[in-house]
Chain A
Amino acid sequence: MGLTAQSVKIDAMKDVFDIVKTDSQHVIALAGNPNTGKSTVFNYLTGLKQHTGNWPGKTVVSARGEYSYNDEEYIVVDLPGSYSLFTSSKDEEVSRDFICYGDYEAIVVVADATCLERNLNLVFQISEITNKVILCINLIDEAKKKNIAIDKEGLERELNVPVVLTAARSGIGMDELKNLIEKITFNSEKRKPAIITYDDYIKSEINDILPHLEDLNISNIRWTALRLIDSNTDIFSINKEGHLTVSQAKKIKEELNINTDTIKLREMIAEHNYNYANELKQKYVTEDTKKIKRDKKIDDIITSKVLGLPIMLLLLGLVFWITIQGANIPSQMLARLLFGIQDKLSSLFVQWEVPMILHNILLDGIYRTLAWVVSVMLPPMAIFFPLFTFLEDLGYLPRIAFNLDHMFKKACAHGKQCLTMCMGFGCNAAGVIGCRIIDSPRERVIAILTNNFVPCNGRFPTIIVISSAFFAVYSNAYVNSLIPALFITLMVLFGIIVTLLVSYILSKTLLKGVPSTFTLELPPYRVPKIGRLLYTSIIDRTIFVLSRAVIIAAPAGAITWIFANIYVGDLSILSHVANFLDPIAKTIGLDGIILMAFIMGIPANEIVLPVLLMAYLSTGTLTDFESVDHLRTILINNGWTPLTALNVMLFSLLHWPCSTALWTIKKETGSIKWTLLSFFIPTAIAFAVCFITASLYRLIL
C-alpha cells in the first residue's frame, strides 16, 4: 500500500535514472525478480521505509536512499522487480534501463532462496552486462523452514560472483553484504562472472559481428552483439556514451545483413540460460519436497473454486467487524482524555485572559473538531491498517486476484487490475501509479480510470465511522458491530461491481479491445513479522493519515467556524453556502453541508468528516464526544436519516478523486482527456446512484 510520507512527496514519483551525487558517493543498484525482498534489503541498508508487501509488483518506481560504511558513502537504488531484461511492462523498463545503462559501481541481484532456478536467469543476464555483480540469496530463513539447503561456496565457484546468504527482514547476512559491496566498489575483489556459453550457431553469429563493434568505443561488445541478433533496435534507444546508438545498430544490421529471427534466437538463449540454471540447481540446492506442500494445502482452501469467494467476503467482513468492535472502547477513552484537556485549556485561557473571540476559534473551533476527529478516526484506523497489512504480507492479495480473474476477464479488463485496486485501498494515487504493472496500454487506462472506486485511506475512516454510528444495534455488544461490518463489506463489494461495470462499458466504447495476455505469480505464504507490521501500519499509515487530516482540518476547521459565526443578513456565511448547495444535495439525499464538505475535501478526502463535524458542531449546540452513539445523536439532530447515512457512504465511495489522484492520473496518462474523464465518470455515477437510492427511499417511505 503506497501511501507514506515519502510516496506522497511529488519527487518520489519520479524515476531515478541520472543519479545526482557527489564525487565521493558510490551508486549501488538493487535488482532482482519481483518479490524477492529488494525493498526490504533497501530498507535495512538505508533505514528508510520503502513499502514492502508479499506480492510481485509492489515497487513500480525506483527509489533512492543512502548509507555509509567504513567512512564511505553509498547511494542505493531500489529497482522494481523484473523477471528478465527483455519483458515489456513499464515498471520493468525502468529496471532494464538502469541495469543496462545506469552508472552504478556495484549491482546486488537479490534472489529468492526458495526459487533459485527461476532467479538465476536474471543473474546470468546481468552477469553478461557487468562484472560488478553481487548475488544476494535472500529469504534464507524461509528456505530453512522448507528444508532447502544451498551450497553457497559451490555456487560462488561456479558463477564466479560473490554470493551472500541473507534474511533481510531480520538483518541476517547484511553486514557481509555491505562488506561485499565495499569490495566490489573498490575493486579489491576483481572477478569476471562466468557467462553462459552458447551453442555453435549463436557463437558464429556473434563472431561475425564482433569485429565490426571493436572500433566503436563500446563498453560491452559481446552483449551488444547478442542484442543485435536477438532484439529489435529499440533496445539501443538510450543514446549514451559507450553504447551503440539506434542508427549505428541499424547500419550494422544492414551492412552485415543480419536478419535473424530475433524471437527464435531469444528463445534459444533463454533455453540455454534455463538449462544452466537447472543444472546449477541440481548441483547446489537440495530440497525436501514434503515441506513445499504446505502452501499447496492452504491454497487448496483459499483459492478453491467453491470456497474461494465466500472466504474472501468472510475475511473482509471479519476485518471490518474486528475494526468496529475493537474501536469502540478506545474511542471513548480517547475522547475522555482529549475533552478533559479541553476543559483544562479552557480554564487556563480564562486565567490568562485570552480574548473571547480567540478562545472560541481556538478551542471551540479548532481543538474541539480535532478532538472529535482523533477520537473517531484513530482507533478504527489503528486496527484496520495492521489487519490489512497482515493479509498483504501473508501473500493473500494475489490470491484475491486469482479468485476474481474470471470476472475481470468478462469485463474485458486486465487480471492484474485487481492488484492495482488493492494498492488503491491505501491511496488511489499510489494505485494509479501501480497500474504500471499492466503492460497493455488499453487496460492500463481502464485500471487508472476505475481505481477511484476502491475507497482509499482517506475515505475508509469516513465510511467506517458513519456506518458504525448509524447502523449499529445497541442492544447487544457483539451483534451491534455486525450490521455496520456488513454494510462496509457491501460497500466494498459495490465498489468492485461498479469497477467491473465501468471497465466493461469502457471496453465496449472508448477503449475497445479484447483482454490482453496475463501471467500472475502466486508468491509463497510468508508469516508476517508482527512487530514490523505494527510499526509500519501504525506509524507509517495511521499516524500519517491522521496527521494529514489534522493538518488540513485545522485551518479548514477554523475557516468553517468563522464562516459559521459571521452573519451576512440573517444567515451565517456557512448557511448561505449550504443553502445554495441544498437543492442539488437534497435531490441526491444529502444536504448542503455534506456536499460542501465533499467539495472542500478535494485536496484530501481525509478532511470530509472533520469539516462536516465542524459545520454541525459550530452551528448547533456544542457537545462533547462520549461515544459513537453521541455522533449519531448529532447527525440525527441535523436531520440525518438512514438514507443520508447510506448516501454519504455511497457518495464517498463513488465521487470524484482527490486532487493528488487527479494530478497523478494526468502524469501517468499524459492526457487531459483521460484526466477529465477520471473526474466526470465517478462524479456522474455518484450523483446517479445517490439519486436512485433517494428516489427509491421516498417511494417506499
Chain B
Amino acid sequence: MKALTDAHVGEVVKVRKNTAQDSLKERLLALGLTNGADIEILRKGPKNNLTVYNIRGAMIALRGEEARLIEIY
C-alpha cells in the first residue's frame, strides 16, 4: 500500500483512499483531497516533514503525519 508520503517530488499521483478521521478528514475533503483527485508533489520542507502539494490548483502544505493517511495508487 502506497501512501502520499512515499511519493517523490515531481510525481503526480492519484488518491485511492483518504483514511483520515473526523475533523481532519473534513478539512482534507474541503481542500479537495477526494478519492481520484490528482496530486502533484511540489517540494519537501525542512526535516522532510512538511511537504507542499498541488491540490486542485492550490499549494497546500501537509505534515507527514497527515499525508501518511492518504493512500495513493
Contact = CB atoms under 8 A, between A and B. Distances in A.
14 contacts: A87-B26, A117-B32, A121-B30, A299-B42, A299-B43, A305-B44, A305-B46, A517-B65, A518-B62, A519-B60, A519-B61, A520-B60, A521-B59, A522-B59
Contacts of B37: 274
Interface string B12-44: 000000101111111111111011110000111
A271 B32 CA distance: 8
Interface stretch (A340-348, A402-410, A561-569, A651-659): A402-410
Nearest to A440: B23
A277 B32 CA distance: 10
Given A116-B57, A405-B50, A522-B60, A270 B66 contact: no
Nearest to B18: A267
Interface of B: 18, 20-32, 34-37, 42-47, 49-50, 52, 55-63, 65-66
Interface string A199-216: 000000000000000000
B30 A86 contact: yes
Contacts of A303: 43, 45, 52
Given A274-B32, A517-B24, A308 B46 contact: yes
Contacts, number: 130
Q: Which of B35, B44, B56 gathers most chain A CB within 10 Å?
A: B56
Contacts of A535: none
Interface string A515-547: 101111111100000000000000000000000
B31 to A, nearest CB: 6
B34 A274 contact: yes
B contact patch SS: mixed
A contact patch SS: helix
Q: Which of A83, A296, A415 gathers most chain B CB within 10 Å?
A: A83
B32 to A, nearest CB: 5
A114 interface: yes
B46 A409 contact: no
Interface in A232-281: 263, 266-267, 270-271, 274-275, 277-278, 281
Nearest to A304: B43
B26 A403 contact: no
Interface string A33-77: 000000000000000000000000000000000000000000000
A545 to B, nearest CB: 33
A300 interface: yes
B57 A84 contact: no
Q: Which of A115, A406, A517 gathers most chain B CB within 10 Å?
A: A517
Given A275-B34, A521-B60, 9 more contacts: A84-B26, A88-B27, A281-B57, A299-B42, A305-B44, A405-B49, A406-B49, A415-B50, A517-B66
B59 to A, nearest CB: 4
Contacts of A83: 27, 30-31
Q: Which of A274, A296, A299, A305 gathers most chain B CB within 10 Å?
A: A274
A118 interface: yes
A278 B60 CA distance: 18
B22 A263 contact: yes
Contacts of A517: 20, 23-24, 27, 63, 65-66
Given A83-B27, A87-B23, A517-B66, A274 B46 contact: no
A143 to B, nearest CB: 11
A364 interface: no
Interface in A274-326: 274-275, 277-278, 281, 295-296, 299-300, 303, 305, 308-309
A117 B57 CA distance: 7
A401 to B, nearest CB: 8
B47 A118 contact: no
A105 interface: no
Contacts of B18: 267
Contacts of B30: 83-84, 86-87, 121, 270
A406 B28 contact: no
Interface in A97-145: 114-118, 121
Contacts of B22: 263
A519 B31 contact: yes
Contacts of B55: 118
B63 A87 contact: no
B57 to A, nearest CB: 4
